[in-house]
Amino acid sequence: MLQTSDARSSEVSHMRRFFTVVFKVVKIVGLVFVSAAALIVMGFWADHARGTTLPKPTGPFDVGRLSYFWQDSRHFDTMALKPETRRQLVAWVWYPAVHGQTMAVADYLPQPWRTAMENQMGVVLSSFLMRDLSKVRSHSFANPDVSPKQGTYPLVLMRAGLSALTTDYTTIAEDIASHGYIVVGIDAPYRSFIVVLPDGSVVPRAPQNNADLLSGPPQEKLAIKLVQAWSADMSFALNELARLNTSSQPSKLNGRIDMSRVGVFGHSLGGATALQFCYDDARCKAGVDIDGAPIGPVVQKGVVQPFMFLLGDHKGEPEQEVRSVNEHIGSIYDRLPSDRRLEVVLRDSNHLAFSDNAVLSNLLRITNDLGIVKLDGARQLAVTGEWITKFFDVYLKGASPSVLDNSSQTHEIERVR
């Protein structure tokens, strides 16, 4: 049937009104989306700019921090870009300090390192996803004397995760030091995320040393190489600390380190390194792996030192991957006597929140707010520091093993076996 002119005109009018409504709806949705995006960006920026104080250490000691730069005159760096490059390390040291000697608080991360970090990460990541590190306040005083309350203190070495810096674990390091330990973490050129040398030169991680860029067998091969290099770094650091401890040259640590009581802990690949170091260096008396997958020959050979696996909650992750990691842990766990082993899970925890990311990452804050990650970040750090300290209290200080009996203690901790 042929349409009349009035009918066609009416249809055109209806279509115009329809598309006008659609356009208005799209416009409103677009404005809502842009407004929401703007609010999110503003929220990120507000979080970035806001000052943050790290969780307070729980021990009786004030905490000092100092740093050292060491160059190995005997060994070349197997991870360097050029052959015959000497191994170099930056060591960050947290320790029990004299009370009230200085009120100068150590920068969370020194300014040259902050600048290098921001340049490496880029404006978006450094400005919107993390807090402004210049406004992060730690509880470490800058270079005070070691506390005289004890003649010497046990030594705990620390290794950061793959894409982290030692200072990213300041909260845990301060907490352990406040309980009477000297805590030493190391960063190394070419394999740490970034390193600033004493002359101001910046050495980022070499791309060929970034296992996150690989998968499958190539990734595993590189991870094993990194773990072995990091373990060797720790042995070199231990040599340097022993030299400082007995040197005739005055230093803060001279004569204050109990080299007979050495422990080690690390997070993620740093946790695997803690295990490797216990295997490589008999001076290590106890170790802790924080949510790191054991890797390499040590899985089949095991270690003899008391060892704790403090694991994150991996519910919902690929079953085959979780099973493989658990089998590797079991291979090591089963070789140890029952009084020298411990495996616990921190319920509802997040792998990334075992570092200061727990309180500095805007993304982790959002996942907490949305209920995706249930355990509060500050609480995760508190429990982690508490249990590492308890473990070393038993195996480095001779405390009763009953402190590790969780029957009436931290409800977030679940003993696996």
H/E element holding 234?
helix 216-246
**Mean pLDDT of the 186-207 span:** 97
Classify residue 5: in a domain, yes or no: no
Query: pLDDT digit string (tens) for 122-160?
Result: 877 777 777 899 999 999 999 999 999 999 999 999 999
Classify residue 45: in a domain, yes or no: no
Classify residue 198: in a domain, yes or no: yes
Cβ neighbours, 10 Å, residue 257:
24
Classify residue 105: in a domain, yes or no: yes
The pLDDT-based confidence of 22 (bands split at 50, 70, 90) is: very low
* Weakest mean pLDDT among 135-144, 158-167, 366-375: 366-375
Side chain identity, residue 256? R
pTM value is: 0.88
What is the span of the domain harbouring residue 186? 50-415
Classify residue 150: in a domain, yes or no: yes
**Helix extents (H) in 122-188:** 123-124, 170-177
CA separation for the pair 268, 212 (Å, rounded)? 12
The size of the chain, in residues, is 417
Query: pLDDT digit string (tens) for 79-120?
Result: 999 999 999 999 999 999 999 887 799 999 999 999 999 999
CA separation for the pair 313, 293 (Å, rounded)? 13
Q: Is 220 helix (H, G, I), strand (E, B) or coil?
A: helix
H/E element holding 117?
helix 111-121
pLDDT surpasses 60 at 361: yes
Classify residue 25: in a domain, yes or no: no
- Averaged pLDDT of the chain: 89
- 206 DSSP 8-state letter: P
**Pairing mode, if any, of strands 341-346 and 413-415?**
antiparallel
Q: How far is CA 134 from CA 43, 62, 139, 211, 213, in A?
A: 19, 22, 14, 29, 30
Cβ neighbours, 10 Å, residue 282:
10
pLDDT surpasses 50 at 28: yes
Classify residue 43: in a domain, yes or no: no
Kindly give the interhelix angle for 216-246 and 269-280, rounded to the nearest 10 degrees.
60
Cβ neighbours, 10 Å, residue 362:
18
**Mean pLDDT of the 399-405 span:** 93
The domain total for the chain is 1
* Weakest mean pLDDT among 2-6, 75-79, 208-212, 249-253: 2-6
Q: What b/e sequence results for 216-245 when a residue is b if at least 16 CB atoms lie within 10 Å of its CB, and e otherwise?
A: eeeeeebbbbbbbbbbbbbbbbbebbeebb
**Mean pLDDT of the 61-90 span:** 97
Query: pLDDT digit string (tens) for 248-258?
Result: 988 999 999 99
CA separation for the pair 175, 252 (Å, rounded)? 20
Q: Determine contact, residues 292/266, Cβ cutoff 8 Å.
A: yes
Structure tokens at 337: 């006597």
pLDDT surpasses 80 at 221: yes
Those residues whose C-beta lies under 8 Å from the C-beta of residue 252, and which sit 6 or more positions away, are: 64, 66, 95, 143, 145, 146
pLDDT, residue 95, reads: 99
Those residues whose C-beta lies under 8 Å from the C-beta of residue 262, and which sit 6 or more positions away, are: 154, 155, 156, 157, 238, 283, 284, 285, 396
- 200 DSSP 8-state letter: S
The sign of the torsion formed by the CA atoms of 295, 298, 300, 303 equals negative
CA separation for the pair 340, 334 (Å, rounded)? 11
Classify residue 1: in a domain, yes or no: no
Q: Determine contact, residues 294/319, Cβ cutoff 8 Å.
A: no
Burial class (CB in 10 A: 0-12, 13-18, 19+), 389: buried
- Hey, what long-range contacts does 124-128 have (CB within 8 A, 24 or more apart)? 127/44, 127/45, 127/48, 128/41, 128/44, 128/45, 128/48, 128/362
CA separation for the pair 319, 324 (Å, rounded)? 9
Looking up residue 394, the CATH number of its domain turns out to be 3.40.50.1820
pLDDT, residue 21, reads: 44
Burial class (CB in 10 A: 0-12, 13-18, 19+), 320: exposed
Those residues whose C-beta lies under 8 Å from the C-beta of residue 24, and which sit 6 or more positions away, are: none
